[in-house]
Chain A
Amino acid sequence: MTDLPDNRTLPDNRTLPDNRTLPDEDLAVAIEARDWSASGLGPPDQWPALLQTMVSLVVGSRFSMWMGWGPDLCFFYNAAYARDTLGVKHPGALGRPFREVWPEILDEIAPRLQAVLTEGAATWDEALMLFLERSGYKEETYHTFSYSPIREADGRVVGLLCVVSEETQRVLAERRMATLRDLASGMSAARTEAAVLEAASETLDRNQRDLPYTLIYLFVEDGTARLAAATGVRPGHRVAPPVIRLGDRNAPWPLDDVVSAGASLVRAAPTVPDLPAGAWPDPSVEAVLVPLAEGATAAPTGVFVAGINPFRALDPDYRAFTDLVAASIASGVAAVRAYEAERRRAESLSELDRAKTEFFSNVSHEFRTPLTLILAPADDALRDDLAPLEGPQRARMEIIQRNARRLRRLVNDMLDFARIEGGRLQAETVPTDLVEYTRGVALSFGAVIERAGLRFELDLEPIDGPVHVDRDMWEKILLNLLSNALEFTLDGTIRLALAGAGDQVVLSVADTGVGIPAEHQAHLFERFYRARRAAARSHEGTGIGLALVDELVRLHGGDVSVESAEGSGSTFRVRLPYGSFSGATAGAPRESALPAYLDEALQWVAGAEGTPGDRPSVRTTGGGTAPATVLVVDDNPDMRSYLVRILAPYWTVQVAGDGLEALELTARTRPDLVLTDVMMPRLDGFALLGALRADPATATIPVVFLSARAGDEAAVEGLEAGADDYLVKPFSGLELLARVRSNLELAGLRNRDAAWRSALVDSLHDAVVVLDSRGTVIEANAAFERILGFPRAGIPYAPPFPWTYDAATDAQAARAATEAFSQLVGGGRLTAVVPLRHRLGHRVDAAVTANSVGEGEGRRFVVAFHDVTAELAAAERDAALARLGIGLAEAGDVRQVHEAGLTELVRVFGGRRAAILQAGEDGVGVVARSDAAPEGPLLSGGRAAEILARAAGQVTAVLNSPEDERVAVGLAALLDPGRPERAVWLELDPPRTVSADERALFSVLCAYFGQAVHRAQLFDDSRTVATALQRSILGPTAVPASVAVRYLPAVAPLEVGGDWYDVVELDDERLGLVVGDCTGRGLSAAATMGQLRSACRALLLQTESPAGVLDALDTFAERLPAAMGTTVFCGVIDTRDGILRYSSAGHLPGLLLNPGAGVEPLDGGQGVPLGFAAGHGRPEGGIRMVPGSTLVLYTDGLIERRGESLEVGIGRLRDAVAGLDRPAPEGAADEVLARLVPHGDHEDDIALLLYRQPGGPAPGAPFVTRVRADAAELSGFRRRLAEWLAANGVADMAANEVLIACGEACANAIEHAYGFRNDRVVEVAGILTKGAISLTIRDRGTWKQPGRTDERGRGIAIMRALSDQVRVEPGPDGTVVTMVKRVGP
């Protein structure tokens, strides 16, 4: 035995919790208490059963409602209605005829009452404005209400039920909110005070209900207020004088009172005739005055005056509204005044800036002449060897020279600025080998940096193709950045790097200096901004250098940025586009800025070293044709400087202190003549001579000996050793000059042949190398240097050559080189492609052709080769691109493109897997990956973010293995260089080395891949747009309850088509129903459909004849070729009598489902598709739809199946709709789709429209029925209730629960009250109000002691559980059960 539910007690009132008590006992009591004898209804216990039921229903409901009974509409209502609407008329209104209760609205309402009582038609009014006198004055109110007939069982209308909700507060709130919203948005666009006031007036003028008239007075400085705007009142009216003097007691409005009160005041309007009334019939006799102040504390700028609506009390809401309007106007005025002030300030600032630039420009220019006149004499004085300056005088003159140069540099910078600002300075960009050009400038400055004890690193990566720069500007950019780095770096390293990055060239200058505090970084590139830093070499800066860099870089279309951390250094980064030729011919070269910068920098360095003046000569690089260079080698400094003084006016002079130093210099600079002492430490003159002669590169340089040893012997010794000439000390300056000059000329002649030959060889594009019999390289041309990067100064190169791979680095390449070498030495000939290694480490594929000449020791191998790296790489790239292209071409949407691209990348690079990373709101994630069966997360979020950041910084980022720097674990590149939030990631497993070519290939493939993704996205986007467009033009989604519509686009991926439906409400009774199908697919079909739909809708409203509409559409289609062949069904249904007139332009036949009589096709009115019948007139069919019958219109997507005739499809539809006359149209539409396309597997778009001819229970009408006390009646009762629920849009679970709860109550009455006496009747009434159903079940039986208490208890429990409120009221005359159930939202 199991415990039974503890719910067996008989219900009574005490078991109801308090919160379920229904309102309102007062009215029930009032009805009881009233003497009804005078009313003609008689005492309540003699009222008809229906009246009793209805009264208890009305009184028991919490929703505001009233009921009129009988021809006089005897008035019954509930507490909610009394409270919300009746006001002072309660309780006098109870039982009175309607016309006595509401005389003031009888004219407005009478037609509606008439319609309900005589025709039985329900009415619906939304937010109807009514003037009620319920609060002691005539009041503007809004009510939404419906009138439904109350019918006896025989169909006679015996009364009227009105469910009403007062909406005054909502309507007012919406109206006021709209005004406030429009006010704010209208004023937000205004930029002048006049525009603000105009916008405000326009808005206020539209709401003449709340604001019958308004005045805006703004204070003027002279103690008056000016009328700035007015609405609702004609100009010159006495309530709106143009000017009010403050304090004027005769003025219509006491403006000063408002100001001193600091808050709004209410005042009677001045007693003048013809007061403005706004939208009302009566004038506004009161006004509210509000100070116009932005915020409570601000001084008011004026006063807002608003006339008050005579039909509303000025309650707190109303007052808050006028306050908000005033606040909005005040803030609009304040904002625009602030804006105007700001604008004036900005204008004067920019004027000031312009004047300043002008001033600097003028002043700077004026500085140049005097500066030149200081510098030239100073230079002359320092250079004068005839009357040389000595000692302190020289030092002073040097100071003058140095500072004058510095000043000149500053003035030049200033002028550059002025020109840039004035738009007069253009970058004269010419194609430049930027690497070499940069190297030249950087090395010059690098010497100073090294001199300052810092390390200088130069990292110049090869750049493809020339970069177009203004060379002077580029020089300034480099020098400014380098000198800036030097200035703020006291120890460590300065590193200059240049590399190509995508379509840009990136220059970076990094130092390990003091760094820049974060707060200064943003201003660093502003003119005259000086970030004061303690540790610097100089404090003399002007703060102009970096600003100039910024401007110069901008002139090139680039940008400059800085990253810096205080204490650990700064990195400046310049990005330049490759640019284009500006067309400027390289005109007169401007003065190089280099000397000035070097001077300044040297000054810092020298200052640091404490040895001023000890600097390399930088002035030997004079203009004009380059003079020959003479290298003076002597260990005696005095001798050196003597020689220099003699030679310097004629040739460029270099000096070396001994033979070793001289050798180093010759290797670098290749002097035209060497003048050397014989006796020197470390390496003497003979040894130097020997070394020079041994090196083919220097073998031809003439060497002149200087010796203290006299005599022929010494001369012979020197000449035998190979010297070209010999001078014995002491010698005269003239003699020296003569010997040097003649030797230079001789050498010139002698070298001409050799030079010609070597020039020829050098000019070859191919590298040419000569090997001796042992395979040692003894000669090479310039192309060799260029291709492999090894200097010719390093010759001889003996095998193994530094440019072949060793087995450890790349076994395959090493083997290839070894094989090629043995083939050459063995066979004397070679033709092969040999992988070589550039000095900088990258691979060079060389196409080598080699021959040999001579025999034995004298045998020579002549090897020529050229670089085919790019060609090989290009071939590989082309092949990979082609494969990727094929893969991507087969992909249709973004997902497939992702898949194809990633798969191909994995294949090309032999990677493990690839993925696309994307930054989103919650970090970086993987959006696509090549491996279909993921093994856990591919990357951690942090790792993905790191990869994305790396990819954004480089063309192809190589992620090295943490264990071994030399191998990579993956490659990453941006999918689209312009979008740093998305990158491709390729995982290499096992890790391996990645060559520069592979990196380049990866970036090219990613770019191509990126374009494909982009295209696919555009395609996806356009499809989405087209779908959205079609949705938007497809048809109304809010349709009358008698209609259900469905639109299903074709199976995913979404395709748009040309199907549409439309429901046009022509007037209260008639609906236009349209379904059509344009030919074609895609966006164009959707566009055509949109036009046809609009045209059809317009025509329906105009002609109302379906055949006429299609006729006109024929003409339309003739002008719109895409519309030709469209099929349309167009019908007009009169919802009252069910007459349907229709015409079909080649469309599939509509189906008519008659309740209980099967399905018939609408085969009348058939014509050809649109555009083929123009001018011939179209047929029209007609049919009468019986109440409850259903019209089904559709497009072919619903029925069409491959390999099946249309007839078969239509037959299937007929079977499917049969029996669907019972569910409401919405449910029926769902059912049709569920039966015909159960899995959504349709190939074409589907449009479906169902129309149900009203009949049976009308929506909105109360449900009234009688049930005989016979259990067999219950199922019929449930069916009627279900229909009523369905007609009122209550479906699914909610409907089932109502059915069960109500069924229990009925069954209880039949079984327990009547004991199955089937001559008795249970009365059931129901009404649907906003969101709830109220049901009353009344019996007139007597409750016997029930036999099965648990069963009844269970019934009550079910009713309670399934309803929101239940009340059971047993009485002597029977029992009334009332239940309320919330439905819908």
Chain B
Amino acid sequence: MSAEVHIEVARDGAESVMLSVTGEIDLSNVGHFRAALDLDAATLVVDLGGVTYIDSAGMAALFDRARRGRLEVRCQASSVVSPLIDITRLCDVAVIRRD
């Protein structure tokens, strides 16, 4: 059984797309996550507030997206995602908002 992830897409004008992600992201469903990140937008906002698990494959997808355009990642400061952002230094290539 693959990990379950749910991604909602909201387009904010032509420039900006917002992804609201809930569930777990691992090797089994990272392709789905990557596809969502490939959406065409000048600025991509990814809200990981509902993510309970993410592994290095998921983080790699974020890095790849950051290489192609402006990326903003939102997460909860107390969540599992927050330390991973620091460990992998995603914070060096994307705008991070923690609340």
Chain A residues close to B by CB (< 8 Å): 1-5, 1271-1272, 1274-1276, 1278, 1293, 1296-1297, 1299-1300, 1303-1304, 1307, 1310-1311, 1348, 1350-1352, 1354-1355, 1357-1358, 1361-1362
Provide 11 A-B residue pairs closer than 8 Å at the C-beta atoms, listed in order of the A residue.
Answer: A2-B67, A3-B92, A4-B89, A4-B93, A5-B92, A1271-B27, A1297-B80, A1299-B53, A1351-B57, A1354-B59, A1361-B83
- Is the Cβ of A1307 less than 8 Å from the Cβ of B27? yes
Known contacts A1275-B2, A1275-B26: A1300-B67 contact under CB 8 Å? no
- Rounded to whole angstroms, the CA-CA distance of A1219 and B94 in the bound complex is 37
- Rounded to whole angstroms, the CA-CA distance of A1276 and B59 in the bound complex is 21
The answer, yes or no, to whether B40 is at the interface (CB within 8 Å) is no
Min C-beta distance of A1283 to chain B, whole Å: 15
Majority SS at the chain A contact face = helix
Known contacts A1296-B80, A1358-B87, A1361-B83: A1350-B28 contact under CB 8 Å? no
Min C-beta distance of B76 to chain A, whole Å: 12
- Rounded to whole angstroms, the CA-CA distance of A1357 and B56 in the bound complex is 9
Contact among B27, B59, B87, B88 for A1274, CB-based, below 8 A: B27
- Rounded to whole angstroms, the CA-CA distance of A1304 and B54 in the bound complex is 10
Known contacts A5-B89, A1307-B26: A1350-B53 contact under CB 8 Å? no
- Is the Cβ of A1362 less than 8 Å from the Cβ of B1? no
- Rounded to whole angstroms, the CA-CA distance of A1296 and B24 in the bound complex is 12
The answer, yes or no, to whether B66 is at the interface (CB within 8 Å) is yes
- Is the Cβ of B3 less than 8 Å from the Cβ of A1274? yes
Residues in B whose Cβ lies below 8 Å from that of A2: 66-67, 92-93
**Further pairs besides A1357-B88, A1361-B83: 18, Cβ < 8 Å:** A1-B67, A4-B89, A1272-B2, A1274-B3, A1278-B24, A1293-B80, A1297-B80, A1297-B83, A1303-B53, A1303-B55, A1304-B55, A1307-B55, A1307-B56, A1310-B27, A1311-B27, A1354-B59, A1354-B60, A1362-B87
- Is the Cβ of A1278 less than 8 Å from the Cβ of B53? yes
Min C-beta distance of A1101 to chain B, whole Å: 44
- Rounded to whole angstroms, the CA-CA distance of A1351 and B2 in the bound complex is 21
Chain B, interface residues (CB within 8 Å), range? 20 to 34
Residue of A nearest to B56 (CB): A1355
The answer, yes or no, to whether B84 is at the interface (CB within 8 Å) is yes
Most buried by A among B27, B60, B63: B27
- Rounded to whole angstroms, the CA-CA distance of A1355 and B57 in the bound complex is 8
- Rounded to whole angstroms, the CA-CA distance of A1303 and B59 in the bound complex is 14
Min C-beta distance of A383 to chain B, whole Å: 106
Most buried by A among B54, B56, B67: B56
Residues in B whose Cβ lies below 8 Å from that of A1272: 1-2, 28
Residues in B whose Cβ lies below 8 Å from that of A1361: 83, 87
Min C-beta distance of A1281 to chain B, whole Å: 12
Residues in A whose Cβ lies below 8 Å from that of B87: 1357-1358, 1361-1362
- Rounded to whole angstroms, the CA-CA distance of A1358 and B26 in the bound complex is 14
Per-residue interface assignment for chain B, residues 44 to 68, with 1 indicating a CB less than 8 Å from any chain A CB and 0 otherwise: 0000000001111101100100110
- Rounded to whole angstroms, the CA-CA distance of A1238 and B8 in the bound complex is 29
Residue of A nearest to B86 (CB): A1361
Residue of B nearest to A1276 (CB): B1
- Rounded to whole angstroms, the CA-CA distance of A688 and B55 in the bound complex is 122
- Rounded to whole angstroms, the CA-CA distance of A76 and B40 in the bound complex is 59
Contact among A1, A1274, A1310, A1358 for B56, CB-based, below 8 A: A1358
- Is the Cβ of B84 less than 8 Å from the Cβ of A1271? no
Contact among A1274, A1299, A1300 for B28, CB-based, below 8 A: A1274
- Is the Cβ of A4 less than 8 Å from the Cβ of B26? no
Contact among A5, A1278, A1299, A1352 for B88, CB-based, below 8 A: A5
Q: Which 9 A-B pairs have the closest CB atoms?
A: A1271-B28, A1355-B56, A1271-B27, A1275-B3, A1361-B87, A5-B89, A1351-B60, A2-B93, A1296-B80
- Is the Cβ of A4 less than 8 Å from the Cβ of B60? no
- Is the Cβ of A1350 less than 8 Å from the Cβ of B63? yes
- Is the Cβ of B80 less than 8 Å from the Cβ of A1351? no
Residue of B nearest to A1311 (CB): B27
- Is the Cβ of A1304 less than 8 Å from the Cβ of B56? yes
Residues in A whose Cβ lies below 8 Å from that of B83: 1297, 1361-1362
Residues in A whose Cβ lies below 8 Å from that of B24: 1275, 1278
Contact among A1276, A1293, A1350 for B60, CB-based, below 8 A: A1350
Residues in B whose Cβ lies below 8 Å from that of A4: 63, 89, 93
- Rounded to whole angstroms, the CA-CA distance of A1307 and B80 in the bound complex is 18
Known contacts A1299-B53, A1307-B55, A1358-B88: A1275-B63 contact under CB 8 Å? no
- Is the Cβ of A1275 less than 8 Å from the Cβ of B67? no
- Rounded to whole angstroms, the CA-CA distance of A247 and B20 in the bound complex is 95
- Rounded to whole angstroms, the CA-CA distance of A2 and B4 in the bound complex is 31
Known contacts A1-B67, A1358-B88, A1362-B87: A1275-B1 contact under CB 8 Å? yes
Min C-beta distance of A529 to chain B, whole Å: 73
Residue of A nearest to B94 (CB): A2
- Is the Cβ of A1300 less than 8 Å from the Cβ of B2? no
Min C-beta distance of B69 to chain A, whole Å: 12
Min C-beta distance of A779 to chain B, whole Å: 93
Residues in A whose Cβ lies below 8 Å from that of B4: 1275
Min C-beta distance of A918 to chain B, whole Å: 40
Residues in A whose Cβ lies below 8 Å from that of B28: 1271-1272, 1274-1275
- Rounded to whole angstroms, the CA-CA distance of A339 and B66 in the bound complex is 84
- Rounded to whole angstroms, the CA-CA distance of A1297 and B84 in the bound complex is 10
Residues in B whose Cβ lies below 8 Å from that of A1304: 55-56
Residue of A nearest to B79 (CB): A1296
- Rounded to whole angstroms, the CA-CA distance of A985 and B28 in the bound complex is 73
- Is the Cβ of A1358 less than 8 Å from the Cβ of B60? no
Residues in B whose Cβ lies below 8 Å from that of A1271: 2, 26-28
- Is the Cβ of B88 less than 8 Å from the Cβ of A1300? no
- Is the Cβ of A1355 less than 8 Å from the Cβ of B55? yes
Min C-beta distance of A1050 to chain B, whole Å: 30
- Is the Cβ of B53 less than 8 Å from the Cβ of A1300? yes
Residue of B nearest to A1355 (CB): B56
Min C-beta distance of A1335 to chain B, whole Å: 16
Residues in A whose Cβ lies below 8 Å from that of B53: 1278, 1296, 1299-1300, 1303
- Rounded to whole angstroms, the CA-CA distance of A231 and B33 in the bound complex is 78
Residues in A whose Cβ lies below 8 Å from that of B27: 1271, 1274, 1307, 1310-1311
Residues in B whose Cβ lies below 8 Å from that of A1358: 55-56, 59, 84, 87-88
- Rounded to whole angstroms, the CA-CA distance of A1310 and B3 in the bound complex is 15
Residues in B whose Cβ lies below 8 Å from that of A1297: 80, 83
- Rounded to whole angstroms, the CA-CA distance of A1355 and B56 in the bound complex is 5
Min C-beta distance of B75 to chain A, whole Å: 13
- Rounded to whole angstroms, the CA-CA distance of A427 and B53 in the bound complex is 89
Residues in A whose Cβ lies below 8 Å from that of B1: 1272, 1275-1276
Residues in B whose Cβ lies below 8 Å from that of A1293: 80
Most buried by B among A1272, A1276, A1310: A1272
Residues in A whose Cβ lies below 8 Å from that of B54: 1300
- Rounded to whole angstroms, the CA-CA distance of A1293 and B28 in the bound complex is 23
Residues in B whose Cβ lies below 8 Å from that of A1299: 53
Min C-beta distance of A626 to chain B, whole Å: 97
- Rounded to whole angstroms, the CA-CA distance of A1304 and B55 in the bound complex is 6
Residues in A whose Cβ lies below 8 Å from that of B2: 1271-1272, 1275
- Rounded to whole angstroms, the CA-CA distance of A1299 and B54 in the bound complex is 10
Residues in B whose Cβ lies below 8 Å from that of A1300: 53-55, 80, 84
Residues in A whose Cβ lies below 8 Å from that of B56: 1304, 1307, 1351-1352, 1354-1355, 1358
Residue of B nearest to A1277 (CB): B26
- Rounded to whole angstroms, the CA-CA distance of A509 and B83 in the bound complex is 77
Residues in B whose Cβ lies below 8 Å from that of A3: 92
- Rounded to whole angstroms, the CA-CA distance of A1274 and B4 in the bound complex is 11
Residues in B whose Cβ lies below 8 Å from that of A1354: 56, 59-60, 63, 88
- Rounded to whole angstroms, the CA-CA distance of A1357 and B28 in the bound complex is 21
- Rounded to whole angstroms, the CA-CA distance of A1355 and B60 in the bound complex is 10
- Rounded to whole angstroms, the CA-CA distance of A1310 and B28 in the bound complex is 11
- Rounded to whole angstroms, the CA-CA distance of A773 and B53 in the bound complex is 110
Residue of A nearest to B27 (CB): A1271
